Structure 1
Amino acid sequence: MRQSTTELAFSTSGQGLVEITREVVRWVDEQGMATGLLTVFCRHTSASLTFQENAAPEVPRDIAAWLDRVAPESSGYAHDDEGPDDMPAHLKSILTGVSLSIPVVGGRPALGTWQGIWLCEHRAAPHRRKVVLHLFGE
């Protein structure tokens, strides 16, 4: 058994979902491991990760709109140090989570036909987000 790790950085253009599947799959392929377990970890408290459909462009927009309804910007939060989207961003991160585990089979992440890996940006302003990958396998 062996392990590999790396950190990838992604630029966001503000609130919404950014598909990162291609970059993650490329890195896994470069490691040359046939089987294993991949952990994808977002190093932020106002951004997160999710698996979701990557075929219909309406899906990420609908998810972002739903998250806005569940954790709306308002003046009702005590924590607003960085603006009105600060606390809602943290709540959205709790809902979607910051890490994913993916089996690696045949040298590739074992994603379903329509599954993609998405970085969820919960802040209004553009950010540079860091995602750590850890692959354990052989």
Structure 2
Amino acid sequence: MLNVETLSEGSVTQQINGRLLVDTQGQGLVEITEAVSRWVFGTGILHGLLTVFCRHTSASLLIQENADPDVRLDLMTAFNRLAPRDVAYIHSVEGPDDMPAHIRTVLSGVSLSIPVLEGQMALGTWQGLYLAEHRDQPHSRDVILHLIGA
């Protein structure tokens, strides 16, 4: 049997957009949970749906464990195995890390949808939001936030 509980009912719907610039240090995961959480709380919207969108083809977004840093290291190792740099890709004009970065982005995605309850993202206890930088050099990444709700 499935038990479904109504957590909230909306009234007047609002939409708010925001932008988060994330500076990376090269390949790796940058946690953005706190910055996004502060933005969500500051909107005043208590219940709704947050969309987080990365405007790049060589960086992606993840919801992943934020308690043990070994998880992040293992994820980067897995990305390296799934899309290695030492393969002769046809698209190589931007360097040996570019095509693997595109593949890693396809595997992990550029958008997330997160419910908002009581003014907070409804993440699990060990979940955090991450921007995954798949290029070797530092970049400034543009993340768009859209929250709709009441």
Normalised by the size of structure 2, how large is the TM-score?
Answer: 0.91
SS in 2 for 1:29: helix
SS in 1 for 2:131: strand
Pair 1:84 & 2:96 matched: yes
CA deviations on 1:41-92 (whole Å, 9 max, x unpaired) are 0000000001000000111111011100100002410001110001000000
Larger Rg: 2
Pair 1:108 & 2:123 matched: no
CA distance in 2 between partners of 1:61 and 1:118 (Å): 13
Q: How does 1:34-45 map to 2 (within 5 A)?
A: 34-45=46-57
Pair 1:15 & 2:27 matched: yes
Corresponding residue number in structure 1 for 2:10: none
Gaps of 5+ in 1: none
Corresponding residue number in structure 1 for 2:5: none
SS in 2 for 1:27: helix
The letter of the residue matching 1:36 is G
Q: How does 1:1-138 map to 2 (within 5 A)?
A: 1-138=13-150
Matched residue count:
138
Normalised by the size of structure 1, how large is the TM-score?
Answer: 0.99
CA distance in 2 between partners of 1:80 and 1:127 (Å): 18
SS in 1 for 2:60: strand
Identity of aligned residues (%): 58
Gaps of 5+ in 2: 1-12
- What RMSD in Å do the two structures reach over aligned CA positions? 0.6
